[in-house]
Structure 1
Amino acid sequence: MNIVGQQVLSDPGGIMTVEWVAEGGDVISVRLESSPDDLGVDAAVAKAKALMVQVATFGDVESDRADEPDVIGSPAVESLRSARSAKDTGTLEEQLDEGLKNSFPASDPLSATGSSITTGRAGSPDTDT
């Protein structure tokens, strides 16, 4: 599926909707509760992408998986599941922040670089030779 469009809508009630439109006209929408800590459009898009990854990875309801004792995940998956079941929002936010930092290195302002080489001379050139 190729995404051909993206838009972020903000309702006065504090709901942000991120929509992606595919070539065939299919639309994917993610509705987010907006909070005062949200930074805006970029943060909403990043949060919606992270939520879609969670849905794709952990789409099964926790109670459905309890019947399957042979389903074993990695330690990272198990820690996320335990944080979700305990409703530990602090741990979930830390994991989300860590995942976003790892997936968007180009948008990290600390990775910006600049040249420290000067292009001019400190003194005037000596023309008496």
Structure 2
Amino acid sequence: MRVVGIQVSVERAGRAGFSIEFVGDGGEVVSVLCPQDDAGSLNRLNAIAKAKDMLRTALAADEALQAVGGQKGSLRGQLPNARRAHDRDAMEEQLEEGLEDTFPASDPVSIATSTIARGHSHR
């Protein structure tokens, strides 16, 4: 895969971190979620470097697994998501995050009221 583009998306206004997408020349996309650190120092500029470091670490771990006799790219089972684990707090947090990411959904709330005049009497 030859990377032809990199897209950086903000997660929850930067509070949750950034999603970095590496786009390949064949339409492949590799996504990396870089969570925000405790100091809040992750930004659009250094998020790409962090994503590259995370990918290097993942590749090195895969190569180490292969070296000890594991199958390259093998999975150790599927990780449970909030719905399967019946974690109501996690599902509620995901719902809140989704609502925040889509607000305002379309038109902003209007504070003005409109009135319709009813029958004027002519004197």
TM-score by length of 2: 0.45
Higher relative contact order (CA 8 A, sep 6+): 2
Higher helix share: 1
TM-score by length of 1: 0.43
